[in-house]
Structure 1
């Protein structure tokens, strides 16, 4: 990663090792600043022709010359007052002020990231990363204010301490060796070891929905991997107890860093081990594919998602990681559950483990949120084990639940209006202005999700039947319902209307039913033997997702079970 700046239409990634301005003078004189100015000038040609004409002096300069000329003007303006400078750009004070404000505004509208090598100094630590990035933020803010006030010839009266630098930054290091020669193409790709998110982090991805399915391929993606150390990073994380290396195209840095709120970031020591899972994300192979492959020789599940504008949606990254996890988990005898699992602790100390299962839009998370509301007077604590994907495994004859994620990827439209704001200071928001907007928010510690948790209630979230509340069924009835995986699709994916998905889980079990089927039989038999309540919970979301009446009834009956 030797470039100083990686600039695309809506994202910039700065290399602090090559382009870290320690002063205003260095910032304004830097090639990095001129590259950004040239990018800005080019965008104005169609957006604001009057600003483009002002900067190019009505075609006298091309974008590169204009960037050089205007940056020189700004350098002089940072030292002298306007009446002490001679420049053609000072002849139109109104346009100058407009351009300075637009340069700043356009910069802030980009998704802005920076990285630094953690092995560049002996005393490097997370505090070094935070300090440098914070100083950069302060430098840009002070520089903009200086120009604005100098042009207006008066100070501002109101100051807003916004994120003027980056949205997030991270540090990287390189591997000493690769675990297998077959994966040698990945050896020099830098690995992330620390991440700092400036939350609330608000992103504006072009895509807001996942389409298609993840399919198995018999062709090893490593044979057509097109990435290199100049265009890819590695985000090493733990999905449940499995180690996953996500090699991502720098174009998708926004999505990749958002994973820090969803999956536990692996340590440097862990990142030098052999992974259980490998994902190649944004591979420029021209295949437009979302595929997975089992490397039997190395015992690694390998995913590959082709570079395409549609994959800017975070769901592609999250769900492929979970698909690879589920495939490996089933190999080990663990049953993947698409659902939500929480431990409810009452004020009197009693505790119950509640697991709800269902496909996207069935009402799993919504039922938990409704339970929080109706039980606020008797519930002391709600511990989230998983909010989307987890597992059930049998240990010493007892079925236990574990999670995969330390965070939650939540659809804002499905929550009560106030819910997203409770943790907004720690969250990443994705396209909050659009339908199907999402947030990624921390939910549980890694220790919690990887601990065995007892299951007191297991219910299928039914959003398509005109019934209300919570209903106990036989194990065979619940098993058949779960295997059918029926739901009323609400448009959270490409599906609309009644649909069925094997075991309500298109992320592994659907693709490998022969692996999943015996695990279902084994786990459901164990639930019955251990006296676990099994049944259905009726969310009514398939009838009217804006009416919470059905959810409230279900939540009250769920609370009644917990308090009995």
Structure 2
């Protein structure tokens, strides 16, 4: 999985193919400029930088040297030695230092501190990481100002050393026979992100669906403790252990904005409902699969190591597929959609579920509703953004629950107000490309998993030319629309044009249609027996790129909600 040009020391790993770096503070923590300048880690960073710069005809002789000469020259600048500028000019050295600094900062840099080895340090891990960031930026500024001959007048406090810092620890959980290979892998306990985080991946689109395999993928796992990490996640009321290879840290760290991190108390002594192995060297047919370990009641997912699966959608959707399959086997109905609680100026409160596959217009309908509401809406709280479930209690009442504490949305779908209000908390993925995404926190875990009654359930129809909303007065007609799952695909996946997906949800219901249908019947019986609004909103995303038609549909929706 690694190539010879990677950096690999006890304290630093860098993979230029993935633009990922891992700094191991437990193995080595550098606290002063002298140690940093003489460290093999900095020498390896410079070596990698010079190797990449060697492919460019930039005419800078300072970059035609080797790492040792490069660093010795910088040391002479720091020490104000007379021979500092014998071989290279200030200008070419300054330009190269600027480029080296940018090169290092272009990586996603994850600092790791293991709690069991460093219990005292773990209590102050953010301060420890801040000190390292200050050290890197101080070294850069000292060299820069000596080379340019004057002090800066403007300073920018960027994340110079690391992009994020995580605490890890080993955990004991009741591991079934056959799962022993997972035992050495440490769990992420606490994370500190430095948003806004801008990250890039080779892939920017998800393809296909996930299918079952007859054999447990756990047999293929042979991961090394230094190369793999586990993100323990609370997905709805499921407990998921998400194991990922370090080259997938872009996705692994992004999970923190999407799912609640399970605490040590949640993990210790608890078997998970789902296990995901993300970045296996071999899988069936080199695509993503899942397996139901019925004996131990664990859903196990496998995702192969390749460039395609670097897109965060693979990690998110495989997690949700495993969760949804678990929900179906618990007789709960997975819902592909979003749910919001709206408080109106006339005192009414409504819980609305928007339903539909990717690109149908769920998020856009909410944006339009907010845009045209003026002062008629006091607040709009997101309960879930992409996936939830309908569940029946012991009294036969139905309620909804969410799965995620965050939202994974296209930048183009966000209004400028929402985008700017969340900019300082967001994790941005490929912001310069088509289908650019951002992951932003949306709600607390306690509110997401609370039992929420549903006042309205609407299908996001992006293909018909009608305007407004339509309430179904016939249960069978409503059921047919929701089950058929028709939409005009907008290119957020590999689908293009008109398509249909069973119950608009390729993440669980498609795989277990026979088990899902009776739960669908039960849900529609409940809605129509209790006279709860079931309808569709015409979003026009597949036929009309302007916002006028959608805004008109949102006005009709607002009118119904406020007066019903």
TM-score, length-normalised on structure 1?
0.95
Displacement of 1:176: 3.5
Displacement of 1:77: 2.5
Displacement of 1:385: 0.9
Higher deviation after alignment, 240-249 or 206-215: 206-215
Match of 2:5 in 1: none
Displacement of 1:89: 6.6
Counterparts of 1:177 and 1:374, CA distance in 2? 51
Counterparts of 1:21 and 1:89, CA distance in 2? 30
Counterparts of 2:120 and 2:341, CA distance in 1? 42
Match of 1:55 in 2: 63
Match of 1:538 in 2: 538
Higher deviation after alignment, 360-369 or 18-27: 18-27
Displacement of 1:87: 4.8
Q: Write the mapping of 1:105-504 to structure 2, written as runs, cut at 5 A.
A: 105-125=102-122, 128-176=124-172, 178-272=174-268, 273-285=270-282, 287-395=285-393, 396-473=395-472, 474-504=474-504
SS of the aligned residue for 1:297 comes to: coil
SS of the aligned residue for 2:358 comes to: coil
Displacement of 1:142: 1.3
Displacement of 1:75: 2.7
Q: Write the mapping of 1:505-524 to structure 2, written as runs, cut at 5 A.
A: 505-524=505-524
Find runs of 4+ consecutive structure 1 residues off by over 4 angstroms.
87-90
Counterparts of 2:401 and 2:87, CA distance in 1? 64
From the superposition, tell whether residues 109 and 2 of structure 1 become closer, same or farther in structure 2 (CA, over 3 Å): closer
Counterparts of 2:86 and 2:172, CA distance in 1? 52
Describe the superposition over 1:505-559 as per-residue Cα deviations: whole angstroms up to 9, x where unpaired: 00010011011011000111011122210111100111123x1112211211111
Does the 8 Å contact 1:409/1:440 carry over to 2? Answer: yes
Higher deviation after alignment, 17-26 or 322-331: 17-26
SS of the aligned residue for 1:46 comes to: coil
Higher deviation after alignment, 194-203 or 133-142: 133-142
Q: Write the mapping of 1:84-99 to structure 2, written as runs, cut at 5 A.
A: 84-87=81-84, 90-99=87-96
Describe the superposition over 1:247-306 as per-residue Cα deviations: whole angstroms up to 9, x where unpaired: 001001111111100000010122222100000001111652200000011100000000
5+ unaligned residues in a row in structure 2: which ranges? Answer: 1-7
Displacement of 1:54: 2.9
Determine if the alignment matches structure 1 residue 100 to structure 2 residue 97: yes
Does the 8 Å contact 2:173/2:271 carry over to 1? Answer: no
Does the 8 Å contact 2:187/2:230 carry over to 1? Answer: yes
TM-score, length-normalised on structure 2?
0.95
Counterparts of 2:260 and 2:266, CA distance in 1? 12
Q: State the Cα RMSD in Å.
A: 1.6
Displacement of 1:311: 1.0
Describe the superposition over 1:342-390 as per-residue Cα deviations: whole angstroms up to 9, x where unpaired: 1111234321110110000000111111111222302111111111000
Describe the superposition over 1:83-120 as per-residue Cα deviations: whole angstroms up to 9, x where unpaired: x2425775322211111111101111111111101222
Describe the superposition over 1:298-329 as per-residue Cα deviations: whole angstroms up to 9, x where unpaired: 10000000000111110000000000000000
Counterparts of 1:500 and 1:89, CA distance in 2? 70
Match of 1:61 in 2: none
Match of 1:30 in 2: 39
Does the 8 Å contact 2:54/2:63 carry over to 1? Answer: no
Match of 1:63 in 2: none
Q: 2:12 aligns with which of 5, 19, 28?
A: 5
SS of the aligned residue for 1:226 comes to: coil
Counterparts of 2:345 and 2:417, CA distance in 1? 24
SS of the aligned residue for 2:166 comes to: strand
Counterparts of 1:532 and 1:424, CA distance in 2? 37
Does the 8 Å contact 2:384/2:448 carry over to 1? Answer: yes
Aligned residues: 550
5+ unaligned residues in a row in structure 1: which ranges? Answer: 58-65
Higher deviation after alignment, 343-352 or 422-431: 343-352
Does the 8 Å contact 1:19/1:32 carry over to 2? Answer: no
Does the 8 Å contact 1:488/1:497 carry over to 2? Answer: yes
